[in-house]
Structure 1
């Protein structure tokens, strides 16, 4: 099985506290035929020097760039990758020791173009498994449901193993700050014959206090909209989905709009009047799809519709 080579792309920026653990976890995998691409994105700390300290390992390739952001950095990795399969890891996270071995085994056994595994999410210092459903092949609607309605495996790139050919001609959108990996997944889905889910947590997603998505203010765009909603709109505009998948994504956008609208009404953020108008418009426009989409349980619908009607009451 080890005749198959796996390229692992790691974008590195301000990661001096975590990058060594990330690298060590990859180099010490039970599966050895790997190529580790460390793309250092003009980090102002010692991240680049730590990466360079591993370049004596023939499996490691370090590339230094000026700062361009995570999508540009990952795209550099895609251009440089030579493996039969391509995987990703974030610099503040790390793989389980058999992450690559188990994913490759399933990918070859199932002949899956994209193989998805579960992950551990760090919560209050403890790692909690994301897995709640069994292994099996996934449809388009399954994928959309689990990157929007819930986060069983999300749209993240770091818990997915791609056949190299699936990513040919595809790249991360450099004009998106959020959901850029979900966009890539949707692009790759259009070229796949089979996607398989391995219901086992094999990735450790660490709680990073400096994460860009941790600050609510970072989720507002400069033109009075919410970045998540903007990204979902681009995903819908650039890809072909079944009507059911469109309804699922629209319902997710509805909940996001209602949530941020309540945030404004409760005075926890002071946006412009135009922002409120845009959120009101989104809520009215997306309500119908949300109400009729049975992917959202009734109890959940009641909660969000009440929040829509009385936004100040739900803190």
Structure 2
């Protein structure tokens, strides 16, 4: 019997005592047997480090403790310890269905893909299901098609957790450290490296919504998302120029959400307030001409432009993956 490929599951951990045990148990409860779990405690100050150590004698688990350096650094450290043919990188707030790794690996094997993607559930308090996302999207895509779907946030988006990657995609690749929203600054590059991506469609990933990020003043961490969005436009112009309109749409979409959120909750500092407003003003006319912007999105842009901010509230997309990472 041919041995199943090894999957390395990397789990950065930081102050997640409320959700960590459920997350780890969901990984250890996978139907797929040939995996290793690499837990990287990134200087937790609650009891998360103790919870991690409770699993250190499990035969599939390795636990590492480091001083606080941020999630990207913890992911990069985990990559240096991974032995797998495939890489899964999860969030310590989330959990996965028992069949997720098995279904992903089977899809990769059957289609010759380098990346597998699943649908997901967005969950709220007490693990209630708020909505499903990117489900019933079964498809086999090349990297150009996958990038287009990501830029338009249709079949998939930048979340890393609902994807399984061939380990070779991480050769000479590391997540950007010292910044927020690292998924949006990374996933497009991994998709571009893959020849084929398969989407399973079934919702097998459970993502916890973070309310604090949705109803709080904007900070400099939010500017990272806009800067990464600008990087995507530059990358696409250079490598996939026929997708430039789609790349600009993603930037305008994120900018529109942030401008409306800024109008509701303000900013923590004048620097953030200035740059969100400046980026918005600079992009307004070109955004209005972008063919992927819906009429409702354009209406939100107009309302924000003329100062009728409160009328824009219903159009803010609070379910975007970009709200947390």
Task: State TM-score, norm by structure 1.
Answer: 0.86
Deviations 1:32-78 (A, max 9, x none): 10010000001011211211111222210101100011000000011
Contact 1:248–1:290, Cα closer than 8 Å, also in 2: no
CA-CA distance at 1:198 after TM superposition: 1.3
Q: How far, CA to CA, are the matches of 1:46 and 1:277 in structure 2?
A: 39
Unaligned 5+ segments in structure 2 are 314-325
Matched, 1:164 2:162: no
CA-CA distance at 1:281 after TM superposition: 3.7
Contact 1:144–1:249, Cα closer than 8 Å, also in 2: no
CA-CA distance at 1:188 after TM superposition: 1.6
The size of the alignment, in residue pairs, is 308
Q: How far, CA to CA, are the matches of 2:204 and 2:198 in structure 1?
A: 15
**Matched residue, 1:216:** 216
Change (3 A) 1:243 1:284: farther
CA-CA distance at 1:92 after TM superposition: 1.5
Contact 2:143–2:196, Cα closer than 8 Å, also in 1: no
Change (3 A) 1:253 1:35: same
CA-CA distance at 1:31 after TM superposition: 0.4
**Matched residue, 2:121:** 120
Contact 1:170–1:184, Cα closer than 8 Å, also in 2: no
Matched, 1:177 2:180: yes
**Matched residue, 2:308:** 311
Give 3-state SS (helix, strand or coil) of 1:71's partner: helix
CA-CA distance at 1:235 after TM superposition: 3.4
CA-CA distance at 1:10 after TM superposition: 0.3
Deviations 1:68-108 (A, max 9, x none): 11000000011110000000111121110100000000011
Q: CA RMSD in A?
A: 2.7
Q: How far, CA to CA, are the matches of 1:138 and 1:100 in structure 2?
A: 20
Contact 2:100–2:205, Cα closer than 8 Å, also in 1: yes
CA-CA distance at 1:116 after TM superposition: 1.1
Q: How far, CA to CA, are the matches of 2:62 and 2:269 in structure 1?
A: 47
**Matched residue, 1:287:** 284
Matched ranges for 1:1-315 at <5 A: 3-123=4-124, 126-127=128-129, 128-140=131-143, 142-150=145-153, 152-178=155-181, 180-209=182-211, 213-214=213-214, 216-217=216-217, 219-221=218-220, 226-237=223-234, 240-265=238-263, 268-269=265-266, 278-314=275-311, 315=313
